[in-house]
Each structure stands twice: as C-alpha cells, then as structure tokens.
Structure 1
Amino acid sequence: MLLKLRRFFKKHPLMKDMISFGGMYVGAEWTQQTMLKRMSNVDQDPKYDKQAFAHYSFYGFLWYPVIYHYWYRWLDARFVGTSAAVIGKKLLLDQFVMEPPLLASFYVGMSVMEGQEDIFKECKQKYITTFLVSTVHSYSL
C-alpha cells in the first residue's frame, strides 16, 4: 500500500503537494480552534467553525499548492544548483516576488469568502506585520 502511494506521488507530485499542504493548512486551523475551545471558560462546548475549515481547505488544497508547485518548478529550472548565491537568489525571489501577492490574495480572498463588506480591511491591518514576520522567519532558518 505505501509503495503504491509512493509511486503515485512520484508520478503526480502536484497531488502530493495538494494533499500535504492542504492537510497541514486545515490541520493548523483545527489545532487553533481546538486550543481556543479548551482555553475558553465556556461551560458549553462550542462547535467547530466548519465554514473556516472550508475556507482554509480552498487555500490549502487548491490555491497555494498549485501556485507554489509551478513557482518552485520554474525557480528550480531557472536557478540551478545549491551554491549560496543560487540559494540566496531563490530565497530573495520567493520572499519578495511571490510572497507579497500571495499574502494579499490570502487576506482579500478570506474576506470575500467571509462576506466582509470591506474586503481590503484585514489586508490593510495585517499585511505589513505578517510580511515582516514571514521575512524574519525565512531569513532565520
């Protein structure tokens, strides 16, 4: 069974990306909701926000893995090697070319799916901080 799965994913790397990224994305949302439920002092057990799971499923299973799959394929074909210079170029391009529009698409897209009146409000409020944290995290690895 595992061998068949391994062969399938080797033959279909995009499917592997979609399943693994989606699983992590939805898993992170489930973990956050679970922790918030446990930390709240509400006697009644609040329900999981299934609509949030659907929103994160869209980004985790469909949006990000497809974009990243083809982005990294292009990046690896264009910048071949493992030297510090090549890795540095890839890191800079990833962080400063790909990350900004994807981050904006996340905030705006989530606002659209949530039916927010001002779909740019959350992006304006959180974009810079999220981008800076992402940049610090990327360069600290």
Structure 2
Amino acid sequence: MRKAFLRHVRRFPWVTNVTLYGCLFAGGDFVHQWFSRREKMDWSHTRNVAVVAFSFHGNFNFFWMRFLERRFPGNSYRMVLRKLLLDQTTAAPLATTVFYTGVSFLEGKEDIMEDWREKFLNTYKFVNFALVPLYVRTTFTGCCAFVWATFLCFSRQSGDGTAAAALMRTGTNNLLYYNITVFY
C-alpha cells in the first residue's frame, strides 16, 4: 500500500500533496474543536479553514518547496540552513498571515487584521529539507501543518497565540507548561 501511495504521489505530485495538505489542515481544526468544545462543533469554521488551506496553503507550500529545492539543491548543512532560514523568514510569516486574515475574511469579520495584530508575534515564535524527499515534502509539511493548524485554530478561537496558553487550555500538566514558559 505504501509503494502504491508513493507511486501515486510521484505521478500526481501537485494534486496529491495539495489535497493531503488541505485535509490535514482542516483536520487540525477538527482536532482543536474536538478537544476544546466537543459538544458544540463549528463546522463552518472547519470549512473556512479548509478553504484557506486548499486555496492557498497547500498550493503555496507545494510551489515554495519546489522553488527552494531548485534554488538551493541538495541537503548539505549549508543548503539546509539556507532553506530553513528562508522558510522561517519568508514563508512562515506569509502563511500565518494568510491563515489569520483568510479565515477572518471568510467569517465576514469587519476587521480582518484583528486576529493577526493580536496573535501574529506570539504565533511566530512558535529537518524538513535534509531528510524528506522532495516528492513527499509537501505531504510531510502537511502533517506538520495538521499539528500547526490545531494550534492556530485554538489560538484564533480562544488563545493568545502562545503554546503555553494552548497547553494549559487542553489540561497538559504544569511541568510541561513551566518548561515552555521558561523557554519563551
């Protein structure tokens, strides 16, 4: 089954990666809601997260990863650092901005920049290029995005953009909370 899946990804890399990325991102919202307010799921929010993920995040990440690999080929220490630096200084802020403003826009908020202004810096604080082959890199990033989307959805709905607030809300033990608070 794994070989068949990888064959499919190699044959249809864009469609497969964007679809998986979008599903994983929307899944992050589902997981957030399941743990934070299971009795009252907001499916329109999950839909909005999916729209932003399918229309922007999956496509952007697919082409961004290809651009980085073509511009900085290989997985030497130097190339990985270049890609990582560019990814974290260019793509991560853009993708986070699109998430906060895109979901706010789809929800019809009057000030679509409000969540971004309140949470972006906290959110932004929070070995893809060396170990993951290019043909599955977008899907791998999508799996990471699943966790990231869960955090972003929590932050947008009820947090302040910090990992510590997310962990305290979900009932994670105080020792972990203390370690994260000290780290930041």
TM-score, with length taken from structure 1: 0.80
Look up the match of 1:94: 87
Look up the match of 2:68: 75
Count of residues paired in the alignment: 128
Letter in 2 for 1:97: T
Between the two structures, name the one with larger relative contact order (CA 8 Å, sep ≥ 6).
2
Q: Give CA-to-partner distance per residue, 1:43-102, whole Å, 9 cap, x none.
A: xx43x2111111111122331111111111011011011111100000000000122222
1:56 to 46, 49, 53: 49
1:107 to 100, 107, 132: 100
Could you say if the C-alpha distance between residues 37 and 97 of structure 1 is closer, same or farther in structure 2, counting changes exceeding 3 Å? closer
CA displacement at 1:37 relative to structure 2: 2.9
Letter in 2 for 1:21: Y
Look up the match of 1:15: 15
Task: Give percent identity, aligned residues only.
Answer: 27
Cα separation, 2, equivalents of 1:49 and 1:110: 13
Cα separation, 2, equivalents of 1:34 and 1:101: 27
CA displacement at 1:6 relative to structure 2: 4.1
Look up the match of 1:33: 33
Q: If you compute each CA radius of gyration, which structure gives the higher value, 1 or 2?
A: 1
TM-score, with length taken from structure 2: 0.63
CA displacement at 1:28 relative to structure 2: 1.4
User: RMSD in angstroms over aligned alpha carbons?
Assistant: 2.1
Cα separation, 1, equivalents of 2:92 and 2:5: 31
Gap regions ≥5 residues in structure 1: 39-44, 135-141
Structure 1 stretches of 4+ moved >2 Å: 1-9, 59-62
Look up the match of 1:122: 115
Cα separation, 1, equivalents of 2:2 and 2:95: 33
Letter in 2 for 1:7: R
Cα separation, 1, equivalents of 2:25 and 2:99: 13
Letter in 1 for 2:44: Q
Cα separation, 2, equivalents of 1:92 and 1:50: 36
Q: What's the secondary structure of 1:127's corresponding residue?
A: helix
Letter in 2 for 1:31: V
